[in-house]
Structures are given as structure tokens and as C-alpha cells.
Structure 1
Amino acid sequence: MKWDPRKYTQFSSHRDRPFFDLTARIAADAPRRVVDLGCGPGTLTAALAARWPGAQVTGVDSSQDMVDQAQALDQAPDNLDFVQAGIEEWEPQPGTDVVVSNAALQWVPGHQDLMRRWAKQLDAGAWLAVQVPGNFGAPSHALMRELAASAPWKHKLDGVLRHGDAVDEPEDYLGLLTETGFEADVWETSYSQVLHGEDPVLEWVRGTALRPVIAALEPEDFSRFEAQYAHQLRAAYPARSWGTVFPFRRIFMVGRKLG
């Protein structure tokens, strides 16, 4: 699946806020190695490098386009680097004291098993901080899945979109971290985001949830699908004189390994 860094960063003020809400709960003083899994265009990874100038900070992303943009960051700190790799392939090196994954693990089937593996591999005292969207039941996602499963599209989009099992509930992640030896803090937040412009919710999902559909369909077919989907989104998220409200639920988990 191809990612578009420009489209992804279109709503950066909204997309960045959960990252800082997540990483504010990490109480590591002087980590040796910090890794950002699913780093995207790298601007938030750079914030980690600035926060911990004594650490080696590495951003990991499966998209070469994202990594290329990250490597071209202006005034990047000397302690920052980026590598292209899938999250499934990554394993913590010795001295990895902080692992962050912000809005990425929902794309990885079975990411709970990865988290359990990392929990075993990380040293005592290491921090694991993860944020995933919790809005797969929201109209933005439910309408997309329903349209993809309808008669005109089912044969072309069968199996393309993830369903309600893309992420777990907060209590499930709390159990996972606690059972693998972490002191855990798990919570959820729903942001009432105000978006502006024409079809702003459609513009939002073009950068994330709609990417698999874009990849699966020919351009002419995608234009037809998008037009039908946009009509449904306008009804689900009516525009007001001051903007369009797009509620977004996020699930956060931060744990420190005991021992």
C-alpha cells in the first residue's frame, strides 16, 4: 500500500496532538536508545530526539516515501536517524529504553503478539508507549466498509478493509501489559475535532483509512466509489457554519517494565 506524506500531514495539528498526549506519560529521564515504530514523515520522531538529546533516536516506517521525507527534514538533530522496515520485522536492540508507536499498530494484524514479544525482549525499566485509533465503529469507517461490501464493489474490495477487530479495547491492552510484567497506564480520549473546507472528513480519510481502497481500485473505479462514499459522509457529518465536527476516539497505553 502506497502512502502519501503530503496528504498524511494535511491535518497535522489534529494528528500530532495524540502523539504528545501519549509521550507526555513516558517518565524516562536519560534513555540510551529510543525507537519510533511507524514514524511517518519523521517530524514527531524529531521531537523525541530533541527531548532526549543523549539518546540515539530511530524512526522506523514501512513506506519508503515516508522515510525519504523523514531523512530530508531540515535541521534534524544529530542523534536522529530513519530506516525503512516493517513493524513486524523489528526487534529491540540492547539498550532500547523507549519504544513508541503512534497510530500505526492498527495496520498490523496480530500486533498484540508483537507487543508480547517486545515485552519479553525489552530490558527491565524500559518503556512501551502505544496509541491506536478506537473509531473503527464510527460512521467514517462503518460506511466505508458497508459500501465496499455492497453489490457494485464486493468483488473488487473483498478483504481489502480491516473490520472491527483491528484493535482491542483499553482493558484488553491493560491486561496484556500487566500480564507481561509492565506497570501500565491505559486510557482513552475522544477528540471533538473541527475540520474545515469542502468534504473535510473525506479529505481526512484520504490520508489514512481510504488508502487500501485507493490502492485496490483503478482510478476510474475509485472516483465512482469515492463519490458515493462522500455523499454518505456529508449526511453523517453535516457541515455547520463554523466547521464540521469529526469525533475521533483514541486508545493510549504506556507501560514501564518491572524487574
Structure 2
Amino acid sequence: MAATQHLRWDPAQYQRHGRDRSRPLTELVARVPELPDRPAIADLGCGPGGPTLSLFGRWPDARITGLDNSPEMLAEARAKAGDRSARSVRFVEADLASWRPAEPWDLLIANAALQWVPDHHLRFPDWVAGLAPGGVLAFQVPGNHAAPSHRLMREVAERPRWRARLAGVLRTDPPVLTPEGYLAELSPLCADVDVWETTYLHRLAGDDAVLDWVSGTGLRPVLTALEDDPEARTAFVAEYAAELRTAYPADAHGTVFPFRRVFAVARRAA
């Protein structure tokens, strides 16, 4: 999606848990203050396009641009838009690590994308400067770097068989700030800043349900690094899946997957 390294994304896999993945965006959008008529909106790290198109639900007259650096995701997004392009939506290739607004935006929104941009908080001054007066920067990011789903992935990658091959593939430092960190970064730049966190308890169905979830997101760096060696890729996934089954045991109702997310809505002075 928005990563500076090129990851091989699978839009179909990403969308397998679309209902649960869409809920944080719905709640983020609900906290965005009123925008001007026909607002200019940029969706940073737009992914497969469905979340971008959902923004028309609140802003039906908006002019929306989806930005992403994944050719796979952009192709899916453009296919989804189809004849909806008449509704003023376009999808553009861009790397958020270097992207700067070239026009004033009423809303810059990022849904589960900024965690792929190292030091993304350093981009905030440029992005806020690119907002129209009263414009809004709104985003949500996963805050589960320390959760078993991610910790176990790193532990398996550190085993002797994988250590050299996967060195540097997975980040060891947290890819997002704490809520307090985002508040501290945004407060000098914006008139109003609202930061909060939520832990969702997703009830997932099917075998190896947590593996299925992370295969569309957090596991992509490993899957990309091993894509030229299917045997090794299968072996890594099998080792990791065994650890996940212990960490997230299934019961008669499925598998509970706690997922913490951090939200921020910051408005530039009018």
C-alpha cells in the first residue's frame, strides 16, 4: 500500500476480512468535522479502492484522489471504480514517504496505511501545510506491533533457518507512535487535535483464521521476500501458523483476535 519498499500485495487476500477491516474507517470518518461543499479529499494509501469509494457515503459531491504505490492495489481500485469515475474519483501512483500536496486539500485521510511509511510523523508538517484553511488530517493505524500475531512472526524470522534470509525484512521497532506521541506531533501544527485508541475483539471463522488475516497485511513483507522460493515460503508459513494456533486457540465460536488501533483527527486553523 504505502510502503517505501515494494511489497507484493494480493487484493483478494486483503479483502477477505473486509467487513472487520472497514469498521475502523467508518468510525474515523464519523469523527471528521464538517467539510466544505464538494470537498477535495486525498486517500493516502488507498489500497484496493473499496474504502476510498465508501467516502462518497458521507461526501457524495467530493472530488477524491486515491494515492498508493502498489500497482496491484491501484489496478484493483480502478477496476472497482469503473464508471464511478464520473463521480470525480481517480487513483494515482505515489509514495507517501516523499509525497507532498501540490494543491490545497480539505481532507487528507489514511486508513491503515501510515504504518508502512517509516517515520511518517515527519511528513505531518508538509501534509498539514497542504491543507486548505480548516482542512483536516485524519488517520488510523494498527497499534498491535507487540501483539502475539506480530511478535511471533518476528520470533520465527529470527530462527536459524530464516535469520539471514529475512534480515531487515520485518521491523523490530514499533512502526507507529503511541497516542500521546501523535498528540505531541500534531498539536503544534493544528488548531484542534483528537487522538484515541480502540481495541477490537474480532471473532474470526475458519481454520488458521489469524494467519488468514495477517496474510493480507502484516505478513506481506515475508511473503514478498520468499516469493521466489515457494518451498521456503510454505515452510515459514507452517512454522508461524503453528505458533499462532497456540497463541490464538479456536473454540466452538471461532477465534478471538484482539486488534488495537490508534486514531487521530487534526484540523488546521481556519
TM-score range, shorter chain: over 0.9
Q: Does 1:60 align with 2:67?
A: yes
> In the alignment, which residue of structure 2 is the partner of 1:257?
268
1:243 alignment partner, one of 234, 251, 254: 254
By how many angstroms is 1:116 displaced?
2.4
Q: What residue number does 1:10 align with?
A: 16
Preserved contact between residue 125 and residue 256 of structure 1 (Cα < 8 Å):
yes
In the TM superposition, residue 56 of structure 1 has moved relative to its aligned partner by: 1.0
CA deviation string 1:61-114 (max 9, x = no partner): 111111111111255252111112211232223331100001000001110101
1:175-195 deviations in Å (ceiling 9; x for gaps): 111111331000000000000
Match of 1:24 in 2: 30
**Rounded Cα–Cα distance in structure 2 between residues aligned with 1:113 and 1:202:** 32
Q: Distance in 2 between matches of 1:200 and 1:244?
A: 7
Q: Secondary structure at the match of 1:235?
A: helix
- Structure 2 residue 173 is matched with structure 1 residue 167: no
Q: Deviations over 1:25-64 (max 9, x none)?
A: 1113325310001111111111213422332101111111
Q: 1:138 pairs with 147, 155, 169, which one?
A: 147
Distance 1:229 1:239, change over 3 A: same
Moved more, 122-131 or 188-197: 122-131
Q: Is 160-169 or 71-80 further displaced after alignment? A: 71-80
- Between the aligned partners of 1:22 and 1:118, the Cα distance in structure 2 is 18
Q: Is the 8 A contact 1:188 1:252 kept in 2?
A: yes
- Whether 1:90 aligns to 2:99 is yes
2:230 alignment counterpart: 219
Work out whether 1:194 is the aligned partner of 2:200.
no
Correspondence for 1:158: 167
Counterpart among 36, 53, 56 of residue 49 in structure 1? 56
Segment drifting more, 88-97 vs 147-156 = 88-97
For structure 1, list consecutive stretches of 5 or more residues without a partner in the other structure.
none
For residues 110-152 of structure 1, what are the alpha-carbon distances to aligned partners after superposition, in whole Å with 9 as ceiling and x for unaligned?
A: 1010122212332320100010000000000000001111211
Q: Is the 8 A contact 2:101 2:126 kept in 1?
A: no
Partner of 2:150, secondary structure, is: helix
Q: Please give the root-mean-square deviation of Cα atoms over the aligned residues, in Å.
A: 1.3
Select between 229-238 and 150-159 the one with higher mean Cα deviation: 150-159
Q: Which moved more, 1:22-31 or 1:35-44?
A: 22-31
Contact kept, 8 Å, 2:190 with 2:268, in 1: the verdict is yes
Contact 2:9–2:73 (CA under 8 A) maintained in structure 1: yes
Provide runs of 4+ in structure 1 moved above 4 Å. none
Q: Distance in 2 between matches of 1:234 and 1:247?
A: 14
Match of 1:126, SS state, is: strand
Q: 1:38 aligns with which of 36, 45, 48?
A: 45
Contact 2:97–2:118 (8 Å) recurs in 1 = no
Q: Which letter maps to 2:251?
A: R
Contact 2:204 2:256 in 1 (8 A): yes
Deviates more, 1:237-246 or 1:114-123: 114-123
18-27 or 65-74: which moved more?
A: 65-74
Aligned residues: 259
